[in-house]
Structure formats: C-alpha cells, structure tokens
Structure 1
Amino acid sequence: MRYRSAAGRWVLLATVLGSSLAFIDSTVVNIALPTIGQELGADAAGLQWTVNGYALSLASLVLLGGSLGDRFGRKRIFLTGVTWFAAASLLCGLAPSIELLVAARILQGVGGALLTPGALAILEASFDPEDRARAIGAWSGLGGIGGALGPFLGGWLVEIGSWRWIFLINVPVAALVLWVAARHVPESRNPAAAKSFDVAGLICGAAGLGGLTYGFTAWPADGPGDPVVLASLAVGVVGLVAFVLAERRSPHPMLPLGIFRSVAFSGANAVTFLVYAANGGVFFLVVLNLQVVAGFNPLAGGLGLLPITVLMLLLSARSGALAQRVGPRIPMTAGPLVCAAALLWLSAIGTGASYPVDVLPPVILFGLGLSLLVAPLTATALGSLDDSHAGIASGVNNAVARAAGLLSVAVLPLAAGIGAGSLTDAATLAPVYHTAMLICAALMTGGGVLAWFLIPNRLTKPTPAESFCDPCAPPLLKRDPATEG
C-alpha cells in the first residue's frame, strides 16, 4: 500500500504502534498465566482477574476516551493514554503479588481506554474519504498483528527471562509512539461536542460491567447461591439498565443513543459483540490448552498462533479494499463462518497433539477468516456515522469489542463446565476447552448470520460535519492528483 505523503506513513505508524500496545496486552498475558500462577501463588479466579481487570477498566472507560477525544482533541487524549499505559505497565512488571498485579492491570486498562479510540479517530479525521478504507485496512492488519503476536511474544519473553518482561517492554515502545505522534500526528476534534462530563453514565456503565464480570468470575468457586455472587450480578444488570436510562436523559451523554438509528452502525456493533466474544475465548483458552493439555512449552504455545499474524499482515489491507469495491456484507458474512469452521477443527486439540497436523491447519483457516472480517467490520462501524462522531464511533465499537471479550473470559469457563476446577489442571481444562470452542464457533456463526441481514451492500453516510483541525498541526492527508501514480 502506498501513501501520497510521508505524513500518511507517520500517522499510520503512530496509530498502529499505539493500538498494538493495547492489543498485545489483551493477549500477551494469556501465555504467561501458568507461570504467573506458579510464581505468585494465584488461583483460577486470580488468573481470570489478571485478564479481566485490564479488560474491565478498558471496556468501562473506552466510551469516555472516545468522547474526550472528540471534545478536547484526539491527539491530546491519545498521547495521555500512551503515557498512562506506559506507567501502568511499569507497575505491572514490578508487582510482587497477584493482588497488586491485578490492580496495576486495571490502571493499564485506563490508559488503553484513552489511547485505543483515539487511534482510529485520528485515522478517520486525518485521511481523505477515498483513502480511509485502505488506511483502516492497513491499521486492522498491522494492529491485528499486535493481538495475534501477543502469545508468541509472551512465550518468547517468558522462555528467555521472566513474565515481567511482557509488561516492561511496553515502556520503550510507548516512548517511540509519543515521539512520533507528537511530531507528525495532526490534532482534530469535534467543535460541537459538549465540554461537560457524563458522570452518571460513566458510573452506571462501569458498575454494570464490573458487577457482571465479578459475579460470573466468582460463580465457579462460590456457587450461584452465594450472596456476593447474586448481589454482583444484580448490580451488573441494574447498572446497565441505569446506564441506558442515564444516556437517554443526559443533555450531553457519553453515548448519544441517536447514533444507533443507523442500521449499519448498530449491525456492525452487534456483529462485533458476537465475534469478539468468540475471539476472547479463543485467545484466552487456546494458548492455555496448548500448554496445559497438549504439553507445549510457553514459546511453542505462543508460536502456535503466529500464522494468524502473518495472514492479517498480508491480507487485511486487501480485505478493506475488497469491501470498498463489493460492499461490506459479503466479507463480514463469510469471515465469521470461516472462523466458525476453524473453531470446530480447533476444538479437537488434546493430549499429544501434533502442531503440523492438528494445530497449524485450523489456525491458518482461522487467520483467513479474521483477515476477511476485521477490516470491513471496523470500516463499517466508523464509516456509517459522520466524521464529527469519529471518536465516539470508535469508542463504541471498541467498548463493544472489549466488553464482549471481558464477559467471554468470565462466562466461557463457567458455561463450559469449569465448576470449582483449575484452569491449569489438564484433566479439568480438556473438556472445558472442547466445549468452549464449540460455543465460540456458535458465536461466530451468529455473527455471520447477523451480518448478512443487518449490513448493507453499500454504506450511506450522513452529511459530514467538518472536524476542527489545529492549524499548527501537520496537514490532513488529502488526495493530491499531481502526486498520484
């Protein structure tokens, strides 16, 4: 893919690297969970909260991150998020106990919530409409590599040193992102956005997600009749209902409910929820199963998913361009169905599995499905609203994806029959893994069916409202016929 100016490449580099910080830390910790559990003496709930603590704060606050970017400047909030993320990563790497590690992961998620929607909103505001699909496709491919590369990177770092390095390595990468973004990324914001905070919406949304997550995570050990479990689930349901009511009544809502009048936007987020719920289970359980049940070492377990990285790098930008030509409905329907077939295949991985025969073929198929799906899904979620809502559109889509992954990690082991067993015990994990992969395949199938019925062949975008751009920042990346070739 070629860009018409060096500025375009710098913007893409900053947003991809920034997003990859959050994406990698959504998956990299999974490969280190057995080692963390042994070194810090953590039980199954502690390991789940090492994943869910990060996902909870990210999912709870990512809407706020998108809204703040629209109001106070997407570049400014992006840089703030990267700085926060780096500081929290340092705390994770130094944590002496599982309780402090979970607390640091929660802080890490706050930084991720600030930087993640900003990255996509910067792309949406910085590129000319004719170039956005390709730019978002490249971002999806390169950024998706972060999530897929996480298990490999984590396995390698655990093998050569310590699980702590999976967090400490974020600090120099964040420093590079700050340098590139400060010099080359243009500032943009929505001048019509309100300057006040939606405190009620923020509190209700966080309470809803937190209550459900804690309740489902504590359920296996404490039982469904435990008063704390019941209270947590009740708080979760009431919090989410109160969130919707608060957003309807707020004069300046964090989530303007009117944006869901767009069928394409609502459909894209419904597909996102199902697909990323499946992805959350896959990236959480596959790497665990490869180590605990199949007997792979951490590095080999991480390498098992490396083909996904390669395929997304090679194909996601092309997938974005294809969706621009034929419309998003076909790739968004076919992609999840291909992933579902791959998950049925992956569900058979058990004791003594051979990587070339049992693991590699379904992983390749899964990577092909994701490559076909991710770029059109992201472009549809952002492209169905006008440019002034780039931050909130990105925030909503990211919030849906993170909430889906969060609830998946909390609910899947329970739904698959974990009971009071341990995720690091082979006899317990093997049947749970098999059932969980079947559930994930069903979620992917549901995502493909929803896409066929809810996603239009062509997007009809509302009349765009111009975003404010800082006149002292680098210019927007507009199409220049004189330099095309």
Structure 2
Amino acid sequence: MTEVSARPGSPPAAKAAGPTLLIACGAAFIAFLDLSVVNIAFPSLARDYPGTATTTLTWVVSGYAVAFAAFLTPAGRFADALGRRRMFLLALGGFALTSLLCGLAPTAGWLIAGRLLQGVTAALMVPSALGLVLSVTPREKIGAAIGAWSAAGGFAAVVGPALGGGLVEAFSWRAVFVINVPVALVLILAVLRISVPDTRTPGSALPDPLGTAAVAIGLGGLVAGVTEGQRWGWADPATLACLGVGLLLLLAALIRSRAHHNPAIAVDLWRSRPYALANAGSFVFGAAMFAWLLAGPLFLDAIWGYSVLASAGALTVGAVAAMVTATVAGRITTPGGRRWAGVLGAVLFIATVAWMSTDAFGPEPALWSAWIPAGILGGGGLGIVVTVLGTAAASSLPPQQFAAGIGMNLTARQVGGALGVALLAAIFAANPDQPLTAFHTLFALCAGITVLAAGVLALPAHPAAAAGTAPAATQ
C-alpha cells in the first residue's frame, strides 16, 4: 500500500480541508446522537418486547456506550495503519448496516447485538474522521477545526431527546435507528466526491492483535462495571468481575505495549507532557460534563414537570452557547492563550453547577431567571473546555499518529463520563425520596470535580512555561 501524501497546508489538502471538516462534523453528529437518542424511545421498546426484562433492555442503551468507549483506542490505531479515508468509509458503511439491523430487529436479543455492533462501528468512525480532518488542516487552524467538530458532537447530545421523541411519536422507535441509514449514505457519497487523501502512517502494520483484544475487552469490562454497578450492586460478582478483569487486561495490555514492536497502545505518545495533561483533563472534566448533561433533562422532567419538547427547547440554550464558545476558543492559537481560556471555561462551569446546587433551582420553574442564564454560562464554559482540551491533544500529536492519539483522548473522556454517570446513579439511589436534594448534591459534586479539572488545565504544557518561556506547540 502506498501512502498518499497529505501535508497540512499543501494545495490539495487545503482545498479538501473545508469539505472534510463538514463530513467529519456529520459523522460526529450521528455517532454522538446515538448515545442519547434512544433514551426517549425506551418505553416504546419495553411495550414492543413485553417478555424481555427491563434490566436486559437497558443494554439497548448502555451496550452502545460500552462498545463505543471500548473500541475508540484500537480504532485510532487501525485508522493510522490501514488509512483514515478507507477506515472512515468502512465504518460509515458498517454504521449504516448496523443501524438498519437495529431498526429491523425481530427480537430484543437482535436489537442488543445490533447496538453493540453499532457502537463498534461508531468508534471506528470517529477517530478516523477527525484524523482525516487534522491531516488536511493547517496546523494554525487545528483549533478552529476541533471547535467545529466538538460543537457538532455537543449539539447532537442535546437534540437527541427531542429528535428521538419526534421520530417515535411520528413513526415508531425503529425510526430512531433507520434515520441513520440515509445520513450515512450521504456522507459516504460526499467522501467519494471530494479529494480526501487516504493518509496513514508510513510503513506501519496492524497493531498487536493480542494487545488490541486486551485493550478492547478491558475497556469494555471497566466501562460496563462502572455503568451497571449501581444497578447490579457494587459488591455483586458481575460488577467485581467486570471491574477486576477490565483493570487486569488493561494493565496487561499496557505492559505488553511497552515492549512490543507494534503496540496496541501508543505508549510513546504518553511521554508528551501536553498530551498526557490533555488526556488527564479530558478524563476529569468528562465526569462532570456527562453527569451535568444527563442531569439537565432529568431535572426538567422530574422537578419542573417539563415535556420532552419543552425540555429540548430549554436545553438548546446551553447547546447554542457551547457551539459559539467552541468556535471562539478554536481561534486561539497560542498554547498559553488556550491554557488560560480553558481555566476561564472551567470557572464558568464551576459557577454554573455551584449555582444549580442552591435553592435558586428549586421546585418552582425559573426558566428565565435561572435556567437560561445557567445554560449560557455552563454551556459556554463547556464549549471552551472541550475545545481547548481537544486542541491541546491534537496539537501535541505527530501527524502520522493523529487518529491513534485522538482515539485515546476520546476514550479518556468517555471513561470519565461513565464514572460521572455512575456518580449520578449512586446519588439518586442514596436519596430515593428526595430528588431535589439528589440534584443539588450532584451539582455540588460536579463543581468540586471541575475545580480539579481547572487545576489540570492551569498546569503549563511545558515545564519551561512556568518560568515565563512558553515554547511553541509541538510540530
């Protein structure tokens, strides 16, 4: 296989940068949409499969998230080795097929299997798509590209409940999955029509298969244990087995990768201080962000009694704010400027969740006096932090390892998010008859977690920066 050159800033690459970014944003939208769009269809699923236990059906929701988080890291390695354009096209086709399988599933078992496979194809799609964008985007414009891509993923998480509710009401729960098919086909046709180079790492081979399997199964077990621990019980053998086996497999994969000539985990990337800090920040902030995003629609429904469409309208404020600030943050080009912008975004988010933990967010609806200002502040802060962390990770990566590095960065955020969702479940389980107290407690803890994230963001990417000399971003 011959590598197609795609040096950022070269004429062919520059010409393809804009269309490639649009395509990648479309892929991010449908991949992250399916993390949330199924939630609203769950009651309809339960009615259509009355003989299936509710605990089993929950894997229609969590199965996708577990598979998605488990395969992001291996997916990045595959994209760098096989070619990002080729992997992206294969993943899009697989996503369309697995979505159709879900939509046509005759039994709950088929639906759960389809969702697991759909999560795998989404994981293969995301790092290859973003890797393509980074390979054709000039280095100075990477932040703007990350901002647009992050905005697309964030917007998908917010509009998921409303879109899902509309499709279920107009058609059935099957439409939630079938709608992905034409969207994926349009993206495939768009890739084939533009000159997107099939960039890959020169001379690379497929990563260590044994280590790759250990990474995927280990991450899957860890995320499954964290996600389902509250429902199964933290002392339940299934929870302990998932967590224990997951951690052991990840440790084994890490040890094996340190000595393997073609490792499953690109351990050399973690020697970069900027990359390691970006991943640490993504992990910590991911816990607060995912908990906040899930708590929002739950609060509007359980405390203020909003309908699905009314909740979607209220949540759109934060989504729009995040899209705006992500775009602005993406235009910051200096490492020092990004660092302090990230701290500012974290402070805005801390102020928001701390405010939401007070009686200002009580049993009586306060849309204009509380929710909308909080949505602007919190969504704005979230957009800044996610963009800064994504840009910091991408800027510290060598071009030949874009997909692998982005895959690991997204994995860190997803695993942190799984812990945040588990924290939410644990707080509500401890306050079954006091939902408002549970929400206030959760928001207060999110503030504390984000303080830790702000500390990580404030750390200089290079030790020399602490002495006043901020070196340029790694080229």
Give the TM interval when normalised to the shorter protein. Answer: 0.7 to 0.9
Give the 3-state SS of the residue equivalent to 2:131 in structure 1. Answer: helix
Bigger RCO of structures 1 and 2 (CA < 8 A, at least 6 apart): 1
Q: Is the 8 A contact 1:274 1:404 kept in 2?
A: yes
Q: CA deviation at 1:272?
A: 0.5
Q: What does 1:250-399 correspond to in 2, within 5 Å?
A: 250-324=260-334, 327-347=337-357, 349=361, 351-399=363-411
Cα–Cα, structure 1 residues 95 and 361, in superposed 2: closer, same or farther, change >3 Å?
farther
Q: Give 1:79 shift.
A: 1.0
Say if 1:371 and 1:230 are closer, same or farther in 2 by CA, change over 3 A: closer
Matches within 5 A, 1:138-177: 138-177=148-187
Q: Which amino acid aligns with 2:36?
A: T
**Pairing 1:436–2:439 present:** no
2:24 is the counterpart of 1:12: no
Cα offset, 1:414, TM superposition: 4.3
Q: Deviations for 1:282-325, whole angstroms, at most 9, x for unmatched residues?
A: 22232233223432212122222111232233332221113548
Instruction: Compute the displacement of 1:218 (Å).
Output: 4.4
> Could you report, residue by residue, the CA deviation over 1:47-84 in whole angstroms, capped at 9, with x for unpaired residues?
65333211211111111211111111101101111111
**Which TM-score applies when normalising by structure 2?**
0.86
Secondary structure of the structure 2 residue equivalent to 1:195: coil
1:443-479: per-residue Cα shift (whole Å, max 9, x none)?
222111111025456564445xxxxxxxxxxxxxxxx
Question: Which residue is 1:415 aligned to?
Answer: 426
| Distance in 2, Cα, partners of 1:356 & 1:43 | 41
- Measured in 1, the distance between the counterparts of 2:98 and 2:473 equals 38
* Distance in 1, Cα, partners of 2:76 & 2:234: 36
Over aligned residues, Cα RMSD in angstroms?
2.8
Cross-structure match for 2:142 = 132
Structure 1 gap ranges (5+): 422-426, 464-485
Q: What amino acid maps onto 1:178 in structure 2? A: I
Q: State whether residues 323 and 331 of structure 1, in contact with CA within 8 Å, keep that contact through their aligned partners in structure 2.
A: no
Partner residue of 1:479?
none
**SS of the residue aligned with 2:36?**
helix
Helix, strand or coil: the match of 1:15? helix
Within 2, Cα distance between the matches of 1:311 and 1:64? 33
Residues 139 and 211 (structure 1), Cα distance of their counterparts in 2 relative to 1, 3 Å cut? closer
**Secondary structure of the structure 2 residue equivalent to 1:295:** coil
Q: 2: distance between equivalents of 1:282 and 1:131?
A: 30
- Give the C-alpha shift of residue 431 in structure 1: 4.1
Distance 1:259 1:115, change over 3 A: same
Q: CA 1:106–1:407 in 2, change beyond 3 Å: closer, same or farther?
A: farther
Contact 1:30 1:283 in 2 (8 A): no
Q: Paired residue for 2:92, among 61, 74, 82?
A: 82
With over 3 angstroms needed to count, the CA separation of the structure-2 counterparts of 1:292 and 1:47, relative to structure 1, is farther
Find the aligned partners of 2:259 and 2:347 in 1 and give their Cα distance: 39
AA in 1 matched with 2:385: L
Distance 1:60 1:223, change over 3 A: closer
Name the CA distance, whole Å, in 2 between partners of 1:47 and 1:286.
23
Cα deviation, residue 350, structure 1: 5.4
Measured in 1, the distance between the counterparts of 2:304 and 2:102 equals: 29
State the identity as a percent.
31
User: Which residue, 44, 61, 64 being the options, matches 2:74?
Assistant: 64
Structure 1 residues 308 and 44: alpha-carbon distance in aligned structure 2, compared to 1, 3 A threshold: farther
**1: CA distance between counterparts of 2:403 and 2:437?**
42
Runs of 5+ unmatched residues, structure 2: 1-10
Change (3 A) 1:275 1:74: same
The alpha-carbon deviation at position 378 of structure 1 amounts to: 1.1
Residue in 1 that maps onto 2:456 = 450
